[in-house]
Amino acid sequence: MHAQQSAAAEDFARLATHRRALPAMSALSACESLEARANDMEKEIERLLVELPAVTEEVQRRNSDILTAKNALAAAQGTLDSITPSIDATIEFDKLISHLLAKLPTLEKEKIAAESNLKNSQEVQRKTSQELEKIKHTSHELHQWLQSHERDAELEGAIGVLTGALQEFDDAVKHEALKKLDVEKNTLHLAEMQASLTAARTLAQEKQNLAIQLHEQMTAKDRELTAILTTSTLESLAESLALYHERHAHHGRLLDLATQFQAKTERRAVLREEFRIGQERRIILTQEIADHTAKIEAGTTHLDALRMILDLQKRIQNYEQARGELVSGEACPLCGATHHPFVDHYESKTSTAEQDVKAQETLLKNLDLKRREFESESASLNAAQLAREDEGKRISADVQSLENSFAATAKLAEVTLTIDAIDALRELMQAYENNGKALAEQKTKADALKKQWELLRESHQQAEKAFEMSQNDAEKLALKTADLASNAERLATEYTAALTERERRKALLDSMIEQFSIANQANP
Protein backbone atom coordinates (compact mmCIF):
# COMPACT_ATOMS: atom_id res chain seq x y z
CA MET A 1 0.00 0.00 0.00
CA HIS A 2 2.87 2.34 0.80
CA ALA A 3 4.40 1.54 -2.61
CA GLN A 4 1.12 2.48 -4.33
CA GLN A 5 1.03 5.80 -2.47
CA SER A 6 4.63 6.54 -3.49
CA ALA A 7 3.87 5.74 -7.13
CA ALA A 8 0.79 7.97 -7.04
CA ALA A 9 2.84 10.80 -5.54
CA GLU A 10 5.47 10.44 -8.27
CA ASP A 11 2.80 10.48 -10.97
CA PHE A 12 1.25 13.60 -9.42
CA ALA A 13 4.66 15.30 -9.29
CA ARG A 14 5.38 14.46 -12.95
CA LEU A 15 1.96 15.77 -13.95
CA ALA A 16 2.50 19.01 -12.03
CA THR A 17 5.98 19.41 -13.53
CA HIS A 18 4.56 18.84 -17.01
CA ARG A 19 1.78 21.40 -16.46
CA ARG A 20 4.31 23.92 -15.15
CA ALA A 21 6.68 23.34 -18.03
CA LEU A 22 4.09 23.99 -20.76
CA PRO A 23 3.27 27.69 -19.95
CA ALA A 24 6.84 28.31 -18.91
CA MET A 25 8.07 27.08 -22.28
CA SER A 26 5.50 29.17 -24.14
CA ALA A 27 6.32 32.24 -22.03
CA LEU A 28 10.04 31.64 -22.54
CA SER A 29 9.49 31.37 -26.28
CA ALA A 30 7.52 34.64 -26.32
CA CYS A 31 10.17 36.31 -24.20
CA GLU A 32 12.92 35.17 -26.52
CA SER A 33 10.90 36.50 -29.45
CA LEU A 34 10.50 39.86 -27.70
CA GLU A 35 14.11 40.07 -26.63
CA ALA A 36 15.19 39.19 -30.16
CA ARG A 37 13.57 42.43 -31.32
CA ALA A 38 14.55 44.41 -28.23
CA ASN A 39 17.59 46.28 -29.66
CA ASP A 40 15.90 48.38 -32.37
CA MET A 41 14.55 51.15 -30.17
CA GLU A 42 18.06 52.46 -29.52
CA LYS A 43 18.16 53.73 -33.11
CA GLU A 44 15.09 55.87 -32.50
CA ILE A 45 16.55 57.17 -29.23
CA GLU A 46 19.83 58.05 -30.94
CA ARG A 47 17.94 59.91 -33.67
CA LEU A 48 16.01 61.88 -31.06
CA LEU A 49 19.22 62.70 -29.22
CA VAL A 50 20.67 63.98 -32.50
CA GLU A 51 17.64 66.28 -32.92
CA LEU A 52 17.97 67.67 -29.39
CA PRO A 53 20.91 70.11 -30.12
CA ALA A 54 18.97 71.59 -33.05
CA VAL A 55 15.94 72.18 -30.84
CA THR A 56 18.17 73.72 -28.15
CA GLU A 57 19.73 76.07 -30.72
CA GLU A 58 16.26 77.06 -31.91
CA VAL A 59 15.25 77.86 -28.33
CA GLN A 60 18.35 80.03 -27.88
CA ARG A 61 17.53 81.92 -31.05
CA ARG A 62 13.99 82.50 -29.81
CA ASN A 63 15.42 83.76 -26.51
CA SER A 64 17.48 86.29 -28.48
CA ASP A 65 14.36 87.45 -30.34
CA ILE A 66 12.51 87.83 -27.07
CA LEU A 67 15.37 89.91 -25.62
CA THR A 68 15.27 92.18 -28.68
CA ALA A 69 11.52 92.60 -28.29
CA LYS A 70 11.91 93.42 -24.59
CA ASN A 71 14.52 96.09 -25.41
CA ALA A 72 12.24 97.60 -28.03
CA LEU A 73 9.34 97.65 -25.61
CA ALA A 74 11.55 99.26 -22.96
CA ALA A 75 12.41 102.00 -25.49
CA ALA A 76 8.72 102.44 -26.24
CA GLN A 77 8.01 102.66 -22.52
CA GLY A 78 10.67 105.37 -22.23
CA THR A 79 9.03 107.29 -25.07
CA LEU A 80 5.68 106.97 -23.35
CA ASP A 81 7.17 108.24 -20.08
CA SER A 82 8.63 111.23 -21.93
CA ILE A 83 5.29 112.15 -23.52
CA THR A 84 3.27 111.67 -20.35
CA PRO A 85 3.73 115.38 -19.29
CA SER A 86 2.48 116.42 -22.72
CA ILE A 87 -0.56 114.24 -22.31
CA ASP A 88 -1.15 115.78 -18.85
CA ALA A 89 -0.91 119.24 -20.41
CA THR A 90 -3.45 118.18 -23.03
CA ILE A 91 -5.75 117.06 -20.24
CA GLU A 92 -5.37 120.49 -18.55
CA PHE A 93 -6.21 122.13 -21.87
CA ASP A 94 -9.30 119.95 -22.11
CA LYS A 95 -10.30 121.10 -18.62
CA LEU A 96 -9.86 124.77 -19.70
CA ILE A 97 -11.98 124.19 -22.80
CA SER A 98 -14.60 122.46 -20.65
CA HIS A 99 -14.59 125.46 -18.28
CA LEU A 100 -15.06 127.87 -21.19
CA LEU A 101 -17.85 125.71 -22.58
CA ALA A 102 -19.45 125.69 -19.14
CA LYS A 103 -19.33 129.50 -19.07
CA LEU A 104 -20.69 129.78 -22.62
CA PRO A 105 -24.39 129.75 -21.52
CA THR A 106 -23.60 132.56 -19.07
CA LEU A 107 -21.97 134.56 -21.86
CA GLU A 108 -24.99 133.93 -24.06
CA LYS A 109 -27.23 135.23 -21.28
CA GLU A 110 -24.98 138.28 -20.88
CA LYS A 111 -25.13 138.82 -24.64
CA ILE A 112 -28.92 138.65 -24.54
CA ALA A 113 -28.95 141.05 -21.56
CA ALA A 114 -26.62 143.44 -23.43
CA GLU A 115 -28.88 143.32 -26.50
CA SER A 116 -31.88 143.96 -24.24
CA ASN A 117 -30.04 146.87 -22.62
CA LEU A 118 -29.22 148.20 -26.09
CA LYS A 119 -32.87 147.99 -27.06
CA ASN A 120 -33.84 149.77 -23.84
CA SER A 121 -31.15 152.38 -24.54
CA GLN A 122 -32.53 152.88 -28.04
CA GLU A 123 -36.02 153.21 -26.58
CA VAL A 124 -34.75 155.76 -24.04
CA GLN A 125 -32.93 157.60 -26.83
CA ARG A 126 -36.15 157.62 -28.81
CA LYS A 127 -38.05 159.00 -25.84
CA THR A 128 -35.25 161.51 -25.23
CA SER A 129 -35.46 162.58 -28.86
CA GLN A 130 -39.18 163.04 -28.45
CA GLU A 131 -38.62 165.12 -25.31
CA LEU A 132 -35.97 167.16 -27.12
CA GLU A 133 -38.42 167.77 -29.93
CA LYS A 134 -40.96 168.86 -27.37
CA ILE A 135 -38.36 171.11 -25.72
CA LYS A 136 -37.34 172.45 -29.11
CA HIS A 137 -40.93 173.14 -29.93
CA THR A 138 -41.44 174.79 -26.54
CA SER A 139 -38.29 176.84 -27.03
CA HIS A 140 -39.52 177.93 -30.42
CA GLU A 141 -42.82 179.01 -28.91
CA LEU A 142 -40.95 180.69 -26.09
CA HIS A 143 -38.78 182.50 -28.58
CA GLN A 144 -41.88 183.71 -30.32
CA TRP A 145 -43.31 184.82 -27.04
CA LEU A 146 -40.13 186.66 -26.16
CA GLN A 147 -40.14 188.46 -29.50
CA SER A 148 -43.72 189.53 -29.14
CA HIS A 149 -43.32 190.53 -25.43
CA GLU A 150 -46.90 189.50 -24.97
CA ARG A 151 -47.14 186.53 -22.66
CA ASP A 152 -44.86 187.47 -19.77
CA ALA A 153 -47.10 185.81 -17.28
CA GLU A 154 -46.63 182.43 -18.87
CA LEU A 155 -42.84 182.74 -19.05
CA GLU A 156 -42.30 181.31 -15.59
CA GLY A 157 -44.48 178.29 -16.43
CA ALA A 158 -42.47 177.68 -19.58
CA ILE A 159 -39.26 177.95 -17.58
CA GLY A 160 -40.64 175.37 -15.11
CA VAL A 161 -41.58 173.05 -17.94
CA LEU A 162 -38.13 173.54 -19.45
CA THR A 163 -36.51 172.87 -16.06
CA GLY A 164 -38.53 169.63 -15.68
CA ALA A 165 -37.52 168.58 -19.15
CA LEU A 166 -33.89 169.27 -18.26
CA GLN A 167 -34.27 167.21 -15.07
CA GLU A 168 -35.73 164.30 -17.04
CA PHE A 169 -32.93 164.71 -19.53
CA ASP A 170 -30.35 164.51 -16.69
CA ASP A 171 -32.01 161.37 -15.36
CA ALA A 172 -31.91 159.87 -18.82
CA VAL A 173 -28.24 160.82 -19.08
CA LYS A 174 -27.51 159.14 -15.73
CA HIS A 175 -29.38 156.01 -16.86
CA GLU A 176 -27.39 155.98 -20.07
CA ALA A 177 -24.19 156.35 -18.03
CA LEU A 178 -25.12 153.30 -15.97
CA LYS A 179 -25.82 151.36 -19.14
CA LYS A 180 -22.49 152.51 -20.47
CA LEU A 181 -20.82 151.08 -17.36
CA ASP A 182 -22.60 147.75 -17.97
CA VAL A 183 -21.47 147.76 -21.58
CA GLU A 184 -17.92 148.58 -20.49
CA LYS A 185 -18.00 145.68 -18.00
CA ASN A 186 -19.24 143.33 -20.70
CA THR A 187 -16.56 144.67 -23.01
CA LEU A 188 -13.87 144.03 -20.37
CA HIS A 189 -15.27 140.54 -19.76
CA LEU A 190 -15.23 139.88 -23.48
CA ALA A 191 -11.67 141.15 -23.65
CA GLU A 192 -10.67 138.75 -20.87
CA MET A 193 -12.39 135.91 -22.68
CA GLN A 194 -10.66 136.85 -25.91
CA ALA A 195 -7.32 136.86 -24.09
CA SER A 196 -8.09 133.45 -22.56
CA LEU A 197 -9.19 132.16 -25.93
CA THR A 198 -6.00 133.49 -27.52
CA ALA A 199 -3.92 131.74 -24.84
CA ALA A 200 -5.98 128.60 -25.32
CA ARG A 201 -5.43 128.78 -29.08
CA THR A 202 -1.70 129.17 -28.50
CA LEU A 203 -1.70 126.23 -26.09
CA ALA A 204 -3.81 124.22 -28.52
CA GLN A 205 -1.34 124.94 -31.31
CA GLU A 206 1.52 123.81 -29.07
CA LYS A 207 -0.40 120.69 -28.09
CA GLN A 208 -1.18 120.01 -31.71
CA ASN A 209 2.49 120.25 -32.64
CA LEU A 210 3.39 118.02 -29.71
CA ALA A 211 0.65 115.58 -30.67
CA ILE A 212 1.99 115.45 -34.22
CA GLN A 213 5.49 114.69 -32.92
CA LEU A 214 4.07 112.14 -30.50
CA HIS A 215 2.06 110.53 -33.28
CA GLU A 216 5.16 110.28 -35.44
CA GLN A 217 7.18 108.74 -32.59
CA MET A 218 4.38 106.34 -31.68
CA THR A 219 3.93 105.38 -35.32
CA ALA A 220 7.64 104.65 -35.71
CA LYS A 221 7.76 102.66 -32.48
CA ASP A 222 4.56 100.90 -33.40
CA ARG A 223 5.99 99.83 -36.73
CA GLU A 224 9.22 98.75 -35.09
CA LEU A 225 7.56 96.73 -32.34
CA THR A 226 4.95 95.33 -34.70
CA ALA A 227 7.71 94.14 -36.99
CA ILE A 228 9.56 92.61 -34.06
CA LEU A 229 6.70 91.16 -32.04
CA THR A 230 4.25 90.17 -34.74
CA THR A 231 6.23 89.30 -37.81
CA SER A 232 9.36 87.78 -36.32
CA THR A 233 9.12 86.78 -32.71
CA LEU A 234 5.52 85.75 -32.21
CA GLU A 235 5.23 83.80 -35.44
CA SER A 236 8.56 82.11 -34.84
CA LEU A 237 7.61 81.32 -31.28
CA ALA A 238 4.27 79.99 -32.44
CA GLU A 239 6.00 77.78 -35.00
CA SER A 240 8.51 76.63 -32.39
CA LEU A 241 5.73 75.86 -29.93
CA ALA A 242 3.75 74.00 -32.58
CA LEU A 243 6.84 71.99 -33.51
CA TYR A 244 7.57 71.39 -29.83
CA HIS A 245 4.02 70.23 -29.13
CA GLU A 246 4.12 67.93 -32.14
CA ARG A 247 7.45 66.40 -31.13
CA HIS A 248 6.50 66.34 -27.48
CA ALA A 249 3.26 64.53 -28.24
CA HIS A 250 5.10 62.10 -30.52
CA HIS A 251 7.77 61.32 -27.95
CA GLY A 252 5.16 61.30 -25.21
CA ARG A 253 3.31 58.53 -27.03
CA LEU A 254 6.60 56.70 -27.49
CA LEU A 255 7.43 57.09 -23.81
CA ASP A 256 3.97 55.98 -22.76
CA LEU A 257 4.23 52.87 -24.91
CA ALA A 258 7.76 52.22 -23.66
CA THR A 259 6.65 52.68 -20.05
CA GLN A 260 3.77 50.27 -20.55
CA PHE A 261 6.19 47.84 -22.20
CA GLN A 262 8.58 48.13 -19.26
CA ALA A 263 5.77 47.62 -16.74
CA LYS A 264 4.46 44.60 -18.66
CA THR A 265 7.97 43.15 -18.92
CA GLU A 266 8.60 43.62 -15.21
CA ARG A 267 5.21 42.12 -14.38
CA ARG A 268 5.98 39.15 -16.64
CA ALA A 269 9.29 38.59 -14.83
CA VAL A 270 7.48 38.76 -11.49
CA LEU A 271 4.92 36.25 -12.74
CA ARG A 272 7.68 33.92 -13.87
CA GLU A 273 9.33 34.06 -10.46
CA GLU A 274 6.01 33.60 -8.68
CA PHE A 275 5.18 30.68 -10.98
CA ARG A 276 8.56 29.08 -10.26
CA ILE A 277 8.12 29.51 -6.51
CA GLY A 278 4.56 28.18 -6.78
CA GLN A 279 5.73 25.10 -8.64
CA GLU A 280 8.36 24.42 -5.99
CA ARG A 281 5.79 24.92 -3.26
CA ARG A 282 3.33 22.64 -5.07
CA ILE A 283 5.94 19.85 -5.20
CA ILE A 284 6.58 20.34 -1.48
CA LEU A 285 2.84 20.27 -0.77
CA THR A 286 2.41 17.11 -2.84
CA GLN A 287 5.17 15.42 -0.86
CA GLU A 288 3.71 16.63 2.43
CA ILE A 289 0.27 15.34 1.48
CA ALA A 290 1.75 11.94 0.54
CA ASP A 291 3.72 11.81 3.80
CA HIS A 292 0.72 12.71 5.91
CA THR A 293 -1.42 10.19 4.05
CA ALA A 294 1.13 7.45 4.82
CA LYS A 295 1.30 8.59 8.45
CA ILE A 296 -2.48 8.55 8.70
CA GLU A 297 -2.68 5.03 7.25
CA ALA A 298 0.02 3.74 9.64
CA GLY A 299 -1.63 5.55 12.54
CA THR A 300 -5.00 4.06 11.62
CA THR A 301 -3.49 0.54 11.73
CA HIS A 302 -1.90 1.32 15.09
CA LEU A 303 -5.20 2.74 16.36
CA ASP A 304 -7.00 -0.46 15.38
CA ALA A 305 -4.46 -2.50 17.39
CA LEU A 306 -4.84 -0.19 20.39
CA ARG A 307 -8.58 -0.52 20.21
CA MET A 308 -8.29 -4.32 20.11
CA ILE A 309 -6.11 -4.20 23.22
CA LEU A 310 -8.58 -1.88 24.90
CA ASP A 311 -11.44 -4.20 24.00
CA LEU A 312 -9.55 -7.19 25.37
CA GLN A 313 -8.89 -5.36 28.62
CA LYS A 314 -12.54 -4.49 28.92
CA ARG A 315 -13.49 -8.17 28.37
CA ILE A 316 -10.96 -9.23 30.99
CA GLN A 317 -12.50 -6.79 33.41
CA ASN A 318 -15.93 -8.25 32.68
CA TYR A 319 -14.63 -11.76 33.52
CA GLU A 320 -12.90 -10.68 36.68
CA GLN A 321 -15.62 -12.03 38.96
CA ALA A 322 -15.45 -15.50 37.28
CA ARG A 323 -11.70 -15.83 37.29
CA GLY A 324 -11.80 -18.18 40.31
CA GLU A 325 -14.09 -20.58 38.49
CA LEU A 326 -11.46 -21.49 35.88
CA VAL A 327 -10.20 -25.03 36.41
CA SER A 328 -6.69 -25.94 35.49
CA GLY A 329 -6.55 -27.79 32.22
CA GLU A 330 -9.80 -26.34 30.87
CA ALA A 331 -9.92 -23.95 27.92
CA CYS A 332 -9.65 -20.22 28.59
CA PRO A 333 -12.96 -18.50 27.94
CA LEU A 334 -11.12 -15.51 26.41
CA CYS A 335 -8.48 -16.99 24.15
CA GLY A 336 -9.39 -20.70 24.20
CA ALA A 337 -5.94 -21.75 25.32
CA THR A 338 -5.61 -24.72 27.63
CA HIS A 339 -2.06 -24.30 28.73
CA HIS A 340 -2.53 -21.26 30.97
CA PRO A 341 -5.14 -20.20 33.41
CA PHE A 342 -7.70 -17.47 32.84
CA VAL A 343 -6.05 -15.28 35.34
CA ASP A 344 -3.04 -14.84 33.05
CA HIS A 345 -5.11 -12.37 30.99
CA TYR A 346 -5.88 -10.10 33.88
CA GLU A 347 -4.42 -6.59 33.94
CA SER A 348 -4.90 -3.83 36.38
CA LYS A 349 -7.70 -1.39 35.98
CA THR A 350 -5.03 1.31 35.78
CA SER A 351 -4.09 0.24 32.25
CA THR A 352 -3.15 3.12 29.86
CA ALA A 353 -4.86 1.55 26.85
CA GLU A 354 -7.65 4.14 26.75
CA GLN A 355 -5.13 6.99 27.00
CA ASP A 356 -3.15 5.48 24.17
CA VAL A 357 -6.28 5.19 22.03
CA LYS A 358 -7.27 8.81 22.70
CA ALA A 359 -3.74 10.02 22.01
CA GLN A 360 -3.65 8.06 18.76
CA GLU A 361 -7.06 9.42 17.73
CA THR A 362 -5.91 12.98 18.47
CA LEU A 363 -2.75 12.39 16.48
CA LEU A 364 -4.73 11.03 13.54
CA LYS A 365 -7.15 13.96 13.72
CA ASN A 366 -4.27 16.45 13.68
CA LEU A 367 -2.63 14.61 10.80
CA ASP A 368 -5.88 14.66 8.84
CA LEU A 369 -6.41 18.36 9.60
CA LYS A 370 -2.88 19.16 8.47
CA ARG A 371 -3.35 17.08 5.32
CA ARG A 372 -6.58 18.98 4.57
CA GLU A 373 -4.72 22.27 5.03
CA PHE A 374 -2.05 21.09 2.61
CA GLU A 375 -4.72 19.99 0.13
CA SER A 376 -6.53 23.35 0.43
CA GLU A 377 -3.27 25.24 -0.04
CA SER A 378 -2.45 23.01 -3.01
CA ALA A 379 -5.85 23.73 -4.58
CA SER A 380 -5.42 27.50 -4.06
CA LEU A 381 -1.90 27.29 -5.43
CA ASN A 382 -3.12 25.40 -8.49
CA ALA A 383 -5.77 28.10 -9.11
CA ALA A 384 -3.16 30.83 -8.64
CA GLN A 385 -0.80 29.07 -11.03
CA LEU A 386 -3.54 28.81 -13.64
CA ALA A 387 -4.33 32.52 -13.14
CA ARG A 388 -0.62 33.35 -13.54
CA GLU A 389 -0.53 31.32 -16.74
CA ASP A 390 -3.53 33.21 -18.10
CA GLU A 391 -2.09 36.57 -17.04
CA GLY A 392 1.25 35.66 -18.59
CA LYS A 393 -0.48 34.91 -21.88
CA ARG A 394 -2.34 38.23 -21.75
CA ILE A 395 0.85 40.11 -20.91
CA SER A 396 2.67 38.44 -23.80
CA ALA A 397 -0.13 39.51 -26.14
CA ASP A 398 -0.04 43.06 -24.68
CA VAL A 399 3.74 43.23 -25.11
CA GLN A 400 3.40 42.17 -28.74
CA SER A 401 0.69 44.82 -29.27
CA LEU A 402 2.86 47.48 -27.59
CA GLU A 403 5.77 46.59 -29.83
CA ASN A 404 3.57 46.94 -32.89
CA SER A 405 2.16 50.28 -31.64
CA PHE A 406 5.64 51.57 -30.85
CA ALA A 407 6.83 50.58 -34.32
CA ALA A 408 3.88 52.39 -35.92
CA THR A 409 4.37 55.48 -33.75
CA ALA A 410 8.10 55.64 -34.33
CA LYS A 411 7.56 55.10 -38.07
CA LEU A 412 10.45 52.68 -38.24
CA ALA A 413 10.55 49.22 -39.70
CA GLU A 414 12.49 47.93 -36.73
CA VAL A 415 11.84 48.97 -33.15
CA THR A 416 13.91 48.41 -30.04
CA LEU A 417 12.52 48.30 -26.52
CA THR A 418 15.14 47.96 -23.82
CA ILE A 419 15.49 49.34 -20.32
CA ASP A 420 18.45 51.55 -21.28
CA ALA A 421 16.61 52.85 -24.32
CA ILE A 422 13.55 53.67 -22.22
CA ASP A 423 15.71 55.56 -19.69
CA ALA A 424 17.32 57.51 -22.55
CA LEU A 425 13.86 58.30 -23.91
CA ARG A 426 12.80 59.57 -20.49
CA GLU A 427 15.84 61.86 -20.36
CA LEU A 428 15.03 63.12 -23.84
CA MET A 429 11.42 63.77 -22.82
CA GLN A 430 12.64 65.70 -19.77
CA ALA A 431 14.82 67.85 -22.03
CA TYR A 432 11.85 68.40 -24.36
CA GLU A 433 9.66 69.40 -21.42
CA ASN A 434 12.26 71.87 -20.16
CA ASN A 435 12.60 73.41 -23.62
CA GLY A 436 8.83 73.48 -23.97
CA LYS A 437 8.44 75.29 -20.66
CA ALA A 438 11.06 77.84 -21.72
CA LEU A 439 9.30 78.36 -25.07
CA ALA A 440 5.92 78.70 -23.36
CA GLU A 441 7.29 81.27 -20.91
CA GLN A 442 8.86 83.24 -23.77
CA LYS A 443 5.61 83.10 -25.72
CA THR A 444 3.66 84.28 -22.67
CA LYS A 445 6.07 87.18 -22.11
CA ALA A 446 5.92 88.15 -25.77
CA ASP A 447 2.12 88.09 -25.73
CA ALA A 448 2.13 90.21 -22.56
CA LEU A 449 4.51 92.71 -24.19
CA LYS A 450 2.36 92.92 -27.28
CA LYS A 451 -0.80 93.35 -25.22
CA GLN A 452 0.83 96.08 -23.15
CA TRP A 453 1.94 97.88 -26.29
CA GLU A 454 -1.56 97.60 -27.77
CA LEU A 455 -2.98 99.13 -24.59
CA LEU A 456 -0.47 101.99 -24.83
CA ARG A 457 -1.34 102.54 -28.46
CA GLU A 458 -5.05 102.49 -27.66
CA SER A 459 -4.49 105.06 -24.88
CA HIS A 460 -2.61 107.25 -27.35
CA GLN A 461 -5.43 106.98 -29.87
CA GLN A 462 -7.97 107.91 -27.21
CA ALA A 463 -5.82 110.90 -26.22
CA GLU A 464 -5.68 111.99 -29.87
CA LYS A 465 -9.47 111.68 -30.19
CA ALA A 466 -9.97 113.67 -26.98
CA PHE A 467 -7.55 116.32 -28.26
CA GLU A 468 -9.40 116.57 -31.56
CA MET A 469 -12.73 116.89 -29.75
CA SER A 470 -11.34 119.58 -27.43
CA GLN A 471 -9.88 121.39 -30.44
CA ASN A 472 -13.27 121.31 -32.18
CA ASP A 473 -14.94 122.57 -29.01
CA ALA A 474 -12.36 125.35 -28.80
CA GLU A 475 -13.05 126.36 -32.39
CA LYS A 476 -16.80 126.42 -31.71
CA LEU A 477 -16.18 128.52 -28.60
CA ALA A 478 -13.95 130.84 -30.61
CA LEU A 479 -16.69 131.33 -33.22
CA LYS A 480 -19.29 132.05 -30.53
CA THR A 481 -16.90 134.41 -28.75
CA ALA A 482 -16.13 136.21 -32.01
CA ASP A 483 -19.87 136.57 -32.66
CA LEU A 484 -20.35 137.90 -29.15
CA ALA A 485 -17.45 140.31 -29.59
CA SER A 486 -18.92 141.49 -32.91
CA ASN A 487 -22.26 142.13 -31.24
CA ALA A 488 -20.51 143.96 -28.42
CA GLU A 489 -18.63 146.13 -30.92
CA ARG A 490 -21.89 146.83 -32.73
CA LEU A 491 -23.56 147.77 -29.44
CA ALA A 492 -20.61 149.98 -28.53
CA THR A 493 -20.79 151.71 -31.92
CA GLU A 494 -24.52 152.28 -31.58
CA TYR A 495 -24.02 153.51 -28.02
CA THR A 496 -21.30 155.93 -29.17
CA ALA A 497 -23.58 157.24 -31.92
CA ALA A 498 -26.43 157.69 -29.43
CA LEU A 499 -24.09 159.43 -27.00
CA THR A 500 -22.88 161.77 -29.75
CA GLU A 501 -26.46 162.59 -30.70
CA ARG A 502 -27.27 163.22 -27.06
CA GLU A 503 -24.29 165.56 -26.68
CA ARG A 504 -25.33 167.42 -29.82
CA ARG A 505 -28.87 167.84 -28.55
CA LYS A 506 -27.62 168.82 -25.12
CA ALA A 507 -25.39 171.46 -26.69
CA LEU A 508 -28.36 172.70 -28.71
CA LEU A 509 -30.51 172.83 -25.57
CA ASP A 510 -27.76 174.66 -23.66
CA SER A 511 -27.54 177.16 -26.50
CA MET A 512 -31.30 177.67 -26.47
CA ILE A 513 -31.31 178.10 -22.69
CA GLU A 514 -28.48 180.60 -22.93
CA GLN A 515 -30.33 182.54 -25.62
CA PHE A 516 -33.43 182.42 -23.46
CA SER A 517 -31.51 183.73 -20.48
CA ILE A 518 -29.98 186.54 -22.53
CA ALA A 519 -33.38 187.43 -23.90
CA ASN A 520 -34.88 187.34 -20.41
CA GLN A 521 -32.18 189.60 -19.09
CA ALA A 522 -32.65 191.97 -22.00
CA ASN A 523 -36.41 192.02 -21.54
CA PRO A 524 -37.18 191.45 -17.87
- pLDDT tens digits for 408-417? 655 543 334 4
Distances (CA, A) of 111 to 282, 427, 496: 121, 87, 18
Specify the pTM.
0.32
Per-residue pLDDT at 229 exceeds 80: no
Average pLDDT over residues 203-212: 64
Residue 199 CA to its chain's centroid (Å)? 51
Residue 481: which of 97, 121, 180, 122 has the closest Cα? 97
How high is the pLDDT of residue 18? 46
Per-residue pLDDT at 29 exceeds 80: no
> What backbone torsions phi and psi does residue 421 show, to the nearest 5 degrees?
-65, -40
Condensed to tens digits (0 to 9), the pLDDT of residues 271-307 reads 888 888 888 888 888 888 888 888 888 888 888 888 8
> What backbone torsions phi and psi does residue 12 show, to the nearest 5 degrees?
-65, -40
Per-residue pLDDT at 452 exceeds 80: no
- Please name the residues in contact with 413: beta carbons below 8 A apart, sequence gap of 6 or more: 407
For residue 167, give its domain range. Answer: 2-522
Q: Quote the percentage of the chain above a pLDDT of 90.
A: 0
How high is the pLDDT of residue 4? 45
SS (H, E, C) 450-468: HHHHHHHHHHHHHHHHHHH
Report the mean per-residue pLDDT for the chain: 66
Residue 27: which of 261, 387, 269, 266 has the closest Cα? 269
Average pLDDT over residues 177-195: 61
- Ramachandran category for residue 523: left, alpha or beta (phi over 0 → left; psi -120 to 50 → alpha): beta
Condensed to tens digits (0 to 9), the pLDDT of residues 307-356 reads 887 777 776 666 655 555 656 666 666 666 665 555 555 544 445 777 88
Distances (CA, A) of 500 to 121, 254, 285: 14, 109, 147
Half-sphere CA count of 74, side-chain side, radius 13 A = 6
- Counting the structural domains of the chain, the total is 1
